Structure 1
Amino acid sequence: MSKVKILLSLFMGIALLFPQMSKACTNFLITKNASADKSVMISYAADSHDLYGELYYWPGQQWPEGAMLDVYEWDTGKYLGKIKQASETYTVIGNINEHQVAIAETTFGGRKELRDTTGIIDYGSLIYIALQRSKSARQAIKVMTELVAEYGYYSSGESFSIADKNEAWVMEMIGKGVGNKGAVWVARLIPDGMVSGHANQARITNFPMNDPENCLFSEDVIEFAKTQKYFDGKKKNFSFADAYAPLDYGALRFCEARVWSGFRLMNPEMEKYEDYVKGESSERLPLWIKPSKPVSYRDLQNIMRDHFEGTSMDMTKDAGAGAFGKPYRFRPLTWKVDEKEYFNERAIATQQTGFSFVAQLRSYIVPDAVGGVLWFGVDDAATSVYVPIYCGINSIPENFKVGNGSLLEYSSTSAFWIFNRVSNQAYSRYNLMIEDIKKVQTRLEDKFEDYAPVIEQAAKHLHQLDPAKAKEFITEYSLAQSKLTFDAWKDLDEFLMVKYLDGNLHKEENGVFLKNEHGNPYHAEFPGYSKEYYQKIVDETGEKLKMKKLPGEESTH
């Protein structure tokens, strides 16, 4: 993964700047007939301890002949080189463009020797350049693969979710090492009615080699593996993932486990793969599955908030959850005791998320400006709000705008910072505060869902009269809901501070603090800890903390 900061300038100064992000993201893909409203959807959590959550924006434009684009690595900001600019680029809002094309990614790394440090195109550049140049998912795949073939692929192994309003694809790519310009890759169309996912581990194994409508791949993907001695069998037995990113226990427990957890929420039959993600079964998790019922965009938003609740890996239940059932484990992910290595679970929702989204792509809504929605949130998805950002907007909400604060510069008007204030409060007393957070979260997201049909109907009507006015309308709506959400979270931050001050609990009803008949606060309540936690204390301390009586003492407790 990588942190993104992108600045666009004119000819000979055009640049994509990409500060640091780390390897830890999650994607799910939902096809038309697997979704509740016949939309195509992809979700993405951009997880990094170094990522500042903001919403990127490139307005579409025409470019003069001979224009060049400076490319900087997404992970480090390192200058990689120049490439030819397209004659026309399309407007991009975050990870969706004006034609309802959306792209997300997760890094699987793979074989280290295949990193080409002389390449010009890194995976972050591929995403945002392809979005600026593509009207469909298939075209995005063509743009991405042609770019790395011409200019070289700089990054390690990567899985991409590439979707438009009709199709969803998973493409996996890895370089060929210094001196071998280009990349080997496979792209598979997710069958309609199915859902898929990936989370930092290559997942394409065997694939059809004579079905270009449903599977695309580089010509040398198998031969290169043979020359590198990664594979020596028959073509029909070739597995991309096994050749270029062999599984280890970490890949199962930290990566495949997240895909499994999302799958089980879409189809309970997937519970049977729990042994696989624990390394106790060889029955591999499939690349795609059929959900037990249609998946809505609200369902997908809530999947992005999962911490393995209800499973044996539930992060609110083990010792690391502490006294308040916190489903978060601060890094490092693994540690040693007496020279033995141990680990924490890695769930879909995590504290280090910079931003996340659910891209909803709808062929049945015309125009595209209204059909494509980026449900966008910053910070930890479990304690965030997904705000509707339509792909046809022509300006970015101030609270999400690039340049409004940074990871080392606090901004009182930045959504990233106000959401972090709330989540970081919640981590200290999670089991109590999360209930207050969910009330506001649900109230806002219910409102967005209720208003959407009316807003979209009005926007479609306006589009028939004047397309420019329709874009102004959805822009104003998206900006207003972003500001509404920011203000609500600012109020929530203050509310939590008062309600839980010093570990106490102040009485309130519907968000209003109660006072006694004299106009003063009621005496604070002391919520203490759970019975289970008190028992743990007794088990560990024995008689040490047991109350005793002095000789002749009468108890006053």
Structure 2
Amino acid sequence: MRKLTIQIFAAFALLFNSYSSNACTNFLVTKGASADGSTMITYAADSHYLFGELYFRPAAVYPSGTMMKIYEWDTGKYLGEIPQASQTYSVVGNMNEYQVAIGETTYGGREELQDSTGLIDYGSLMYIALQRSKSAREAIKVMAELVEKYGYYSSGESFSVADKNEVWIFEMIGKGVDLKVDRKTKKTYNANRGAVWVAIRIPDGYVSGHANQARITTFPLENMKTSISSKNLDKIFDPNIEVVYAHDVISFARKKGYFNGKDEEFSFSDTYAPVDFGGARFCEMRVWSFFKEINKDMWKYFDYAKGHNLKNRMPLYIKPDRKLSVRDMMDFMRDHLEGTELDMSKDEGAGPHALPYRWRPLTWKYEGKTYFNERATATQQTGFSFVAQMRSWLPDAVGGIFWFSVDDAASTVYFPVYCSVTSVPEAYAEGRGDMLTYCDDCAFWVFNKVSNFAYLRYDLMIQDIKKVQNELETRFISQTDIVDKTALELINNGNKDEAISFLTDYTVNTGNYVVARWEKLFQFLLMKFMDGNVKQEDGKGGLKYNKYNYCPAHVDNPDYPDWWKKNLIEETGDKLLYKSEGGGH
């Protein structure tokens, strides 16, 4: 995510630096691959500039002639305006009332293909499509038509587009700028307006993922019964269609000199965003780390993910060895490359307290050479993340659950937001704070207090964080059945509005409770770990006093690991050696 064009042909070091801002992760799960028959997509919106909050746009009806202003999601820059739809649907976060959900990751691609004259950026593309679509297929159609008509402002983008029945990966890049003057109006226009793109339905029973590297390679063309080009875009609603692509996705590449092979050999990624070392190590590595947890054969692509064998590309989608649950998807979003030689908590960069994070820049130089830090799925600069769960066997008002969180996925809490809600928890609502405006009860700031404090003594504090995290998420997941049944009973009795009111109250109360509980956790951590000490717990959720009930019971001072002591001694020699004669403490 976060708009930054990857300079494919730039110098090696500059290429590395471009990836430092490309930072989102999406995992996609089809009905047949999930434990309960739901579809799921995950999304981490990672950015050093994005404030985590829960967006909400109620359904609305607009009079003819109403215009919609377009602002770039990344920067707030005004891009222009387009006609508003006569009817829009309710959207909470990245899911609408019809259980359509969309996520994204930016891959950048060829720098010269970004269109500075376009009106629609990738963020606007997602949220407009959610307001105008009742299915994943309709969302793809809306997105394709928007960029065709108004131009695509952003760089290369991968989208996850899902509904209660299907999951699609949709990759797009602009066509650059070719300014012409209209003979009649004398106005300047971009003759290359629009985008080239490919959308592929993930087969049922399979999973996919993308993380800032274009992943679609070859695909079946229109002479196949399962594939159509944008010239026949209305046929996208044919359930037999599994691939849709821009009619000029290949011819445009030929025109630009990017491709000269046979049509059936055309690869979208290899043409518009070739994978390189950074694309593999920083981006594909996150997809591989997800895949390897659910398919034992994925270790044969480890060299590729490390950037060492780029011809051995991973498949776009795989069949998991087991069915996946909502809890699984939450856990996959918390990955730090554990279980591999790249585990960020195991090398010296983790410090004595096993911190699985490295502060930016992502790449750095030493004695004329360029080095890098790993880029795992869980990262400190997450604005928000979610697990979108869509369930076809329930009415839309009950079926869609948008499991939402803010800040670092490893130390956050996902709470349930039903897609039919009419308001959101105050602590997560837009406008209560921003990256430069602190507020005591904003979810984003409360969660950042906990995570940033924990980074100081991660090995110890994360244990207390995980305990409360697991307690809350286990409770919310276990409550889902009774909440569903209560709302469903109301709907079946003809009280849909009452059901939606019930689901809204549940969502709002749950979200606000999470933030209040996390504030209590911060207070507990501050008292327990203040000044490097570790105070004893009393077994009742508090901290233990001494036998006189006057001051804390004996505090612990955990020792540093031997490897850290050894390195320190090698660096300082005898400077810190304790000498008993004449010495003191």
Q: Above 0.5 in TM-score?
A: yes
Partner residue in 1 for 2:549: 519
Q: Deviation digits for residues 238-281 of structure 1, max 9, x if unmatched? A: 10000000111111110011111111122232122111111222
Partner residue in 2 for 1:284: 313
**Which residue among 561, 575, 585 is the counterpart of 1:530?**
561
**Which residue among 503, 506, 509 is the counterpart of 1:474?**
503
Q: Deviation digits for residues 134-185 of structure 1, max 9, x if unmatched? A: 0000000000000000011111000000000000000000000013000000
Partner residue in 1 for 2:95: 96
Q: In structure 1, what is the Cα distance between the partners aligned to 2:145 and 2:86?
A: 16
Letter in 2 for 1:160: F
CA contact (8 A) 1:372 1:391 kept: yes
Q: What are structure 1's unaligned runs of at least 5 residues?
A: 4-20
Q: Does 1:542 align with 2:568?
A: no
Letter in 2 for 1:517: K
CA contact (8 A) 1:120 1:151 kept: yes
**Which residue among 214, 222, 226 is the counterpart of 1:202?**
214
- 1:511 Cα deviation (Å)? 2.4
Q: Deviation digits for residues 504-524 of structure 1, max 9, x if unmatched? A: 011103521111221021132
**Which residue among 377, 380, 384 is the counterpart of 1:351?**
380
The alignment partner of 1:266 has SS state of: coil
Partner residue in 1 for 2:16: none
Q: Deviation digits for residues 172-216 of structure 1, max 9, x if unmatched? A: 000000130000000000000000000001000000112221100
- 1:533 Cα deviation (Å)? 2.1
Q: In structure 2, what is the Cα distance between the partners aligned to 1:336 and 1:516?
A: 51
- 1:283 Cα deviation (Å)? 1.2
Q: In structure 2, what is the Cα distance between the partners aligned to 1:330 and 1:539?
A: 26
CA contact (8 A) 1:108 1:157 kept: yes
Partner residue in 2 for 1:369: 397
Q: In structure 2, what is the Cα distance between the partners aligned to 1:291 and 1:542?
A: 53
TM, length-normalised to structure 2: 0.90
- 1:363 Cα deviation (Å)? 0.1
Q: Deviation digits for residues 380-418 of structure 1, max 9, x if unmatched? A: 000000000000111011010001111111111101000
Q: In structure 2, what is the Cα distance between the partners aligned to 1:542 and 1:289?
A: 53
Q: In structure 1, what is the Cα distance between the partners aligned to 2:275 and 2:512?
A: 44
Q: Percent identity?
A: 57
The residue correspondences of 1:326-341 to structure 2 (distance < 5 A) are 326-341=355-370
The alignment partner of 2:107 has SS state of: strand
The alignment partner of 1:159 has SS state of: strand
Q: Deviation digits for residues 77-114 of structure 1, max 9, x if unmatched? A: 12111111111100000100000000000000000000
Q: In structure 2, what is the Cα distance between the partners aligned to 1:269 and 1:490?
A: 43
Q: Deviation digits for residues 466-504 of structure 1, max 9, x if unmatched? A: 000000000010111111111110000000000001000
Partner residue in 2 for 1:403: 431
Partner residue in 1 for 2:64: 65
Q: In structure 1, what is the Cα distance between the partners aligned to 2:370 and 2:149?
A: 43
Q: In structure 1, what is the Cα distance between the partners aligned to 2:91 and 2:257?
A: 41
- 1:325 Cα deviation (Å)? 0.3
Q: In structure 1, what is the Cα distance between the partners aligned to 2:580 and 2:480?
A: 66
Q: In structure 1, what is the Cα distance between the partners aligned to 2:527 and 2:319?
A: 46
Partner residue in 2 for 1:229: 257
Q: In structure 1, what is the Cα distance between the partners aligned to 2:134 and 2:478?
A: 30
Partner residue in 1 for 2:484: 456
Partner residue in 1 for 2:203: 191
Partner residue in 1 for 2:244: 216
Q: In structure 2, what is the Cα distance between the partners aligned to 1:540 and 1:237?
A: 56
Distance 1:443 1:263, change over 3 A: same
Q: In structure 1, what is the Cα distance between the partners aligned to 2:560 and 2:402?
A: 40
Partner residue in 2 for 1:483: 512
CA contact (8 A) 2:101 2:388 kept: yes
The alignment partner of 2:170 has SS state of: strand
What is the aligned-residue RMSD (CA, Å)?
1.4
- 1:541 Cα deviation (Å)? 2.9
Partner residue in 1 for 2:457: 429
Q: Deviation digits for residues 263-306 of structure 1, max 9, x if unmatched? A: 11222321221111112223111110111100101000000000
Q: Does 1:126 align with 2:125?
A: yes
Q: In structure 2, what is the Cα distance between the partners aligned to 1:166 and 1:480?
A: 30
CA contact (8 A) 2:277 2:308 kept: no
The alignment partner of 2:356 has SS state of: coil
Q: In structure 2, what is the Cα distance between the partners aligned to 1:273 and 1:544?
A: 48
CA contact (8 A) 1:495 1:511 kept: no
Partner residue in 1 for 2:354: 325
- 1:310 Cα deviation (Å)? 1.2
Partner residue in 1 for 2:34: 35
Q: In structure 1, what is the Cα distance between the partners aligned to 2:296 and 2:549?
A: 52
Letter in 2 for 1:198: H
CA contact (8 A) 2:2 2:23 kept: no
The alignment partner of 1:523 has SS state of: coil
Partner residue in 1 for 2:185: none
Q: In structure 1, what is the Cα distance between the partners aligned to 2:509 and 2:576?
A: 55
Letter in 1 for 2:472: L
The alignment partner of 2:344 has SS state of: coil
**Which residue among 365, 370, 381 is the counterpart of 2:409?**
381
The alignment partner of 2:293 has SS state of: helix
Q: Deviation digits for residues 337-370 of structure 1, max 9, x if unmatched? A: 01100000000000000000000000011x2011
Q: What are structure 2's unaligned runs of at least 5 residues?
A: 4-19, 179-191, 228-240
